Amino acid sequence: MTRKYFGTDGIRGTVGQPPITPDFVMRLAHAVGRVLKQSESRPTALIGKDTRISGYMLESALESGFNSAGVDVVLLGPLPTPGVAYLTRAQRASLGVVISASHNPFADNGIKFFSAQGTKLPDEWEFSVEAMLENPPQWADSASLGKSRRLDDAAGRYIEFCKSTFANDLTLKGMKIVVDAAHGAAYHIAPKVFHELGAEVIAIGCAPDGLNINQDVGATHPQALVDAVKLHQADFGVALDGDADRLQVVDYAGRLYNGDELLYLLVDDRLTRHEHVPGVVGTLMTNMAVEVALLSRGVQFLRAKVGDRYVLEELERNQWILGGEGSGHLLALDKHTTGDGLISALQVLKAMQRSGQPLAQLLSAVTLFPQTLINVRLRPGQDWKNNKQLDQETRRVAVELGDSGRVLIRASGTEPLLRVMVEARDADQAKLCAQRIADTLSI
C-alpha cells in the first residue's frame, strides 16, 4: 500500500496548496478524531506548533476538526516537537499533534502525530487515517462536541524535563554556550535550559517573527553558529532546527560536528562508563566511518530507512536504546521516546564534563569518509525508478568504488527531490561519481 498524504514525517507541503489548506486540515483532524474514537470514548489531543505565521490558521483548523468529532483539545502554543511528545505522555493524552515543517522554509508547514506513549505512529495508523478521509464526515451533535483549553505552563514543564536528563552532580557553570534556535519552536526554551544549568548563554536565532524560521540560522545553516562561537570565544555551540528535534554542535575552535559523529560520542561515553551497548541503529545515510568504528568496539550496527521513525522501529525491534541520523536526529530511549535536540546536546555536554576532554579528542577515533550529496529536483511525473541511464551509471559507480565506498539513491519524503549520495575514501572521487549519476536525470 502507498500513502496518499503522509510522507516520512507526517504531512507536509506549501501553505495554501493542497494538502496544507485549512479545509483539508480540518477534515484531517476530524478523520483522526474518528479513528481515535474507535478505541476511546472521549479522546484528548494535545496541539503544539512552531513559530510559522501559518501555525495560527492550521491550529484553528485542527481544533475545529477534533472538536467536531468529539475530541477534546489542549493547546500548548509554540513548543518543540519533542516537547509535545513528552507532554502527550505526561498528560496521559490520547494523541500529540505538532504543526511544523521542521527545517523547511516558513512558506511550508505540516502536521505530525505522536501516540499516547510519545512515539511516532506506525504506517498502519496512517493508512487507517487516510482510509477514514475517504468517508463522509460524521459531525458530533452539540452534547458530544469536544472542548478546548490551553496549558499555560507547557514550556516550563518541558524545560524541567530537559534539565532532568542532565546529571545532578554536574553543572555548566564556567561554560559560555552559544544557542541557536533557528527562530523556531525552542526560541523561548533552549536558552533557559542551558542558563538554568549554570551556563553563560549567548542566544542567536531566538527572535521569531513568523517569517524567519530557519532563515540563515539553525541546524540547516550552521555557519551562523560557527561565526558566533568564534566571535564570542565561546566554549560550545548548539544549533537546533525549526522544531528542535535535530542538532548540530560546534566546539570552541569553530569545528562543526554532525549527527553521525555525535551518535558515536554517545556510544563512546556509555562504553567508557562500562555500560553495555549491544547495538546501534543508523540509517542508509550514516557515514561508513561510524559503522567501522562501532564494529571495532564490538557494537553491532544496523541501517534503517531514512527517517527517525524507522530508526525508532529498529531500536524497538532489537530492544536497543541508541540510534540516529547524520542530520542530527538522535535517539536515546532511556532519556526520551523521540529525537530531541536539546536533550541530545545535554548528553554531549555530559560526556565532555565527565571526561574533561574536548570534542575533538573524544572523537579522535572517527574520521568521516567524504560524502557528496546532490539533490536533483524532479519534474512532475518524472519516472526516475525506470530511468535506464540512471540505473546503468549507478551500477558503474558501484563497481568503481568496490568496498571503499557506496552509492545511495532515494526520493525525498517531503519534497520533489531525488537525493544522490556517494561516499568514498577519496573526496574528489565521491564528488565526480555523484555528479555523473545526477547528470543522467537531466537527459
C-alpha to C-alpha distances, 257 to 165, 223, 248, 362, nearest whole angstrom: 21, 12, 6, 12
Average of pLDDT values for 284-312? Answer: 92
**All 3 cell numbers of residue 382?**
518524472
What angle (nearest 5°) sits at the alpha carbon of residue 403, between those of residues 397 and 405? 55
Average of pLDDT values for 333-352? Answer: 97
Domains of the chain: 11-155 (3.40.120.10), 172-255 (3.40.120.10), 259-340+356-362 (3.40.120.10), 371-442 (3.30.310.50)
**Chain segment 383-430, per-residue pLDDT in tens:** 899 999 999 999 999 999 987 889 999 888 767 899 999 999 899 999
- Look at residue 1 in the predicted model and tell me its pLDDT: 64
DSSP, collapsed to helix, strand or coil, labels residue 154 as: helix
**Chain segment 103-114, per-residue pLDDT in tens:** 999 999 999 999
- Look at residue 307 in the predicted model and tell me its pLDDT: 84
- Look at residue 381 in the predicted model and tell me its pLDDT: 83
Active site residues: 102
Question: Is residue 151 exposed (0-12), middle (13-18) or buried (19+ Cβ within 10 Å)?
Answer: middle
